[in-house]
Structure 1
Amino acid sequence: MENYYIAFDTLIKERNDVLKYVVEHQTEIVSHIKTTICYELYSSPADDLGILTPSLIRDKITNGYHKGRKLKKKPLNKGYISYELDNTMKPLRIRMYNKGGHLDVAFYFVDYNDALFAIPCGGNKPFYLYPTDMHKIEYRKGQIWRYSTITSNSLWQEVYDFEKENYVECKNYYYVSNLIGSNKEVPLGETGSPLQAWLAKIYMIENKVSRLLYYNISNKEELIYEYGK
C-alpha cells in the first residue's frame, strides 16, 4: 500500500499548490465568471457541492447527508444555494446563503492539472480561503472517474468504473496523513494503517441509483450496508 500512501500525500500537497494558484489569480477567476456565466440554478441547502456533487454514494451511505433539491426560483427568507454555469453547463461558482440572505461560503471552480477543482472561499472582493474541504473532480469519457474531498491532512476519495451497462463499481478510500498511532509502513487492513477502503456495487436504472451494496475491503470483503433492497 506504499504507493497509495505516496499518491494520497501527493494529492494533499497538490491542495496547497491549488490554493496558492487561486490566491494569485483571483482577479482573473472572478472576471472569467462575470463574462462567462450563462445559467443560474437554485437548490435548497445541502452538503458538499449540493446538486452538483458528483458522488453516487455519499447521500446513500451517510446519515443526515443532503444533496439538496432543485428549486424553480430563488426563495425568500430561506437558506439556499446558487449555481452559476457557462453555456456548456460547466460549473463556475456555487454560493451558499443562509436564511438571512448572507453569503456563508462560495466554491470557485478552477481547471488545474487536467482536473476541475472547487475551492471554498468567503467574501466577495477580495475573497479569502474558507477552512473547509476542497473538491477535486476528474472525468473519463464524459463520466465521473475520480472524486476527492481534501483537507490539509486527510482526504476522502471515490474511484468509479462504468465498464458495465447499468452497473457501477466505486472504490472508496479515507486517508489521514498524520493519524496519531498510525504507521505508513503498515499495509491496508492491518492495525495501524492510516488508510481505510470500501467497495460500493451500484445498480442503476435510468441513470439513478436503484440499489447499492457497500463492502468494507480494508481487510476482507464484508458487506456492511445495503441501500434499496
Structure 2
Amino acid sequence: MKFEVYCDEALPDLFTSEKPRAKYLMIGALWLPADLREEAKAKIAALRERHNVHGEMKWRKISPSRLDFYAEVIDLFFGYAADMRFRCIAVDHEKTNLDHFHDGDGELGFYKFYYQLLHHWILDFNEYTVFCDLKSNRSPTRLAELRKVLSNANLSAEILNVQPLPSGQLVLMQLCDILLGAASSRLNFDAPASPAKLAIVERIEARLGRKIGPTWKSEEKFNVFKINLQGGW
C-alpha cells in the first residue's frame, strides 16, 4: 500500500533556547493511506463551509467562536478509525546529552528523534511519502539524510520522499498540528490555559477513553512515545 505521513513539531527550539518554555520537545505525524487523502480534504473543506472557517487550521487558533468546528475536525479524525492514525514523540530536553550523542548539534539531535518517530511505524512492502513542515535548517541536506537513513533501516519498504512544504498548503499537516498541540498541552502543561483548547483536549480524551499521556508501543490510534533516553520504550 501507499501511505502518506504529515509531520509537524511543537517547541522545536528547546534544544537551543537559553530559557526553555517547557520540558518536552515534541514531533508529531499523521498517517493515512494515500487514496484517502482527497476524501479527507473534501470532508474538512465541507466543515469549513458549514462553520464559515477559513485560513490555516492551527492549535493556537482554537477559540470559543471556532470550537464547534474544531470539535468536528476531531470527530472526523476518530471517524476514520485505524485508517487515520497519529503518533508523536516527546523528548525531555533536560535529559538530552547533545554533546555526547549528537556532536553538540541540536539540529542533528532533532532529526535523530524525527527518525525515531517515523521508523517504528514503517512496515515492510509499503510505500511512504513524508511531508514535513517547512523550516530553516543550518544544513540543507537534513531531510535527504533522513530519507536515506529511513530507507537503509527499512529495506523492504520504499521511502519515496521526505519533502518540506509550508503547512498552509497541507490541510492534513494542519490536522497534525491540532493533535500535536493537544498532546503537548497535556505533557508539558497538564492542561491548556484556554477553556476552548481544554474542551478540544477533553473531546480527544473522551473519544480515547483515557487521558492523553504516554502510551504502550502497541497503541495504534493516538500513540504518544515518551522516549526513554536511557534505552527502551
Q: Same fold judged by TM-score > 0.5?
A: no
More contact order relative to length (CA 8 Å, sep ≥ 6):
2
More strand as a share of residues: 1
More helix as a share of residues: 2
TM-score tier by shorter-chain length is under 0.3
Q: Scaled by the length of structure 2, what TM-score is found?
A: 0.21
